[in-house]
Amino acid sequence: MMWRGRARLGPVIQVVPLLRQSSTVSQSARDWTIRPANADVAKDQVAQLAASPRRALKLADLLRHGRPPLSKDALLASANFTLSLLPARLASRIQALRNLPFIVVSNPHVSKIYHNYLHSLSTLLPYQKRQISTLEEENQFGDVLADLVQTHTNTIPVLARGFLECRKYINPGDVTHFLDTHLRARIGTRLIAEQHLALHFASQPISDEPTTGTSAKESVPSNYIGVIDTALQPARIIRLCEDFVGEICELKYGVRPRLKIGGEPDASFAHVPVHVEYIITELLKNAFRATIESGNEREPIEVTIASAPDVPGHARSVQGDADEGFQLEGLADEATTPDAVRFPNPTSQSITIRIRDRGGGIPPEVLPHIWSYSFTTFSDMDFQNSANGNVDALNTIAASGGNLSSIAGLGYGLPLSRAYAEYFGGSIDVQSLWGWGTDVYLTLQGVGKID
């Protein structure tokens, strides 16, 4: 009931309902793929895929196929590009899970994630043996890819519970390292898959024959290229997240703090709305809660938006995840198809958002641990309640790829938010004045100017 008031963000987040509609794979797709059993994916095959060299993925790769609706050739190129990346990335995650202590992998939650990855890899391997060359095969691949994305929707909360149950058998530092690596890799994997799915859905209907129809083009705003909004306004997302978090605060506490936006509220840049929504929701949740519980709900939460100017000729390289670097340089050289997006200058733009609250600050003994996956702070009683569905409403505000996930009390909010920000070369910094309040600085790197 409480989730109904949440505003959703544009077509990019509506990809998830589309995935659910396509989660039942057609019989023709099943016949064509001939899904093997999990046991058919041999250990040496996984190891070989996981160890295979992978070139650095550039952000321009997600834009190179052009604005939807795509032509037949561009859509097939996007499908084959997606297929060229996913199996090795899935194999890398399987290998990482196999390297965990046996007692951890034996946990039913961790084991479920392991077998989900194994199943997904076994589903894609038959495709890797040949190119997708027709629109019929691309449609079938889209069905299977949608099913794959839906299968991994709840990876984060399921892993969270698995590691919580295994906290006696594995060092907390090892857990933090594994989760940080795994979740960052997962961001890239989902982004690659969801980008093609967004282009696929936005390019329907499409046929081998030229058509003058404009239904596909009219269904997608011109500022969207797949899951990327090239004219994203952080102020709009902040207001939507404010409404959602404020509604939950009213349900729990009976009050909601005010929020003031200053700086450059009209600033816009190119980014992934789903990622920005998750980060802002988590940061506002923390600010609202601290403000109310410190008794300062009459003090407004101040949000300042600052847009950095474009820097002509500037190029940067950032670390995307443990599997492959996510690089932004050389954007102008990546437009290789007739319909590709053109980058007139290799410019870059960043937007910094400061969220300031009067919530009393973070205790000094807690501050050094805010970037850890603090599963040990969740009591057994709280865990039992969460398993039965009795979770703190504020703590259930956690999303992954646009879906709500209950990872209540597990301390995943800030480290996962930082992973999303850093994936594109951004950052999150926290400055706390104990006894007064907290300033959080979120910097998000954009793509630059896009024609």
Q: What is the DSSP letter of 340?
A: P
Residue tagged 């659910």 (tokens): 20
Residues in the chain: 451
Integer Cα distance of 144 and 418 in angstroms: 31
What domains appear along the chain, each with residue ranges and CATH number?
2-224 (1.20.140.20), 228-445 (3.30.565.10)
Integer Cα distance of 76 and 437 in angstroms: 52
SS3 170: coil
Residue 54: per-residue pLDDT: 72
Q: Which residue type sits at 12?
A: V
Closest among 244, 282, 319 to 412, alpha carbons compared = 282
Integer Cα distance of 222 and 201 in angstroms: 15
Contact 411, 351 (CB under 8 A): no
Closest among 303, 321, 312 to 349, alpha carbons compared = 312
Residue 64: per-residue pLDDT: 85
Closest among 1, 57, 92 to 424, alpha carbons compared = 57
Residue 52: per-residue pLDDT: 86
List Cα–Cα distances, 317 to 320, 328, 415, 422, in angstroms: 9, 6, 22, 12
Residue tagged 């790197």 (tokens): 445
Residue 24: per-residue pLDDT: 43
Contact 316, 46 (CB under 8 A): no
Query: How confident is the model over 104-137, as pLDDT tens digits?
Result: 999 999 999 999 999 999 999 888 878 899 999 9
Integer Cα distance of 448 and 9 in angstroms: 21
List Cα–Cα distances, 415 to 126, 169, 278, in angstroms: 36, 22, 12
Residue tagged 């109904």 (tokens): 4
Q: Which residue type sits at 400?
A: S
SS3 408: coil
Contact partners, residue 333, CB within 8 Å, separation at least 6: none
Alpha helices for 129-220 (secondary structure H):
135-151, 155-165, 172-202, 215-218
**Residues of the chain whose pLDDT is less than 70?**
1-42, 55-60, 206-221, 310-348, 374-411, 447-451
Contact 291, 358 (CB under 8 A): yes
In the numeric block, which tokens belong to residue 163? Answer: 């590691």
If one counts every other C-beta atom within 10 angstroms of the C-beta of residue 215, the result is 10
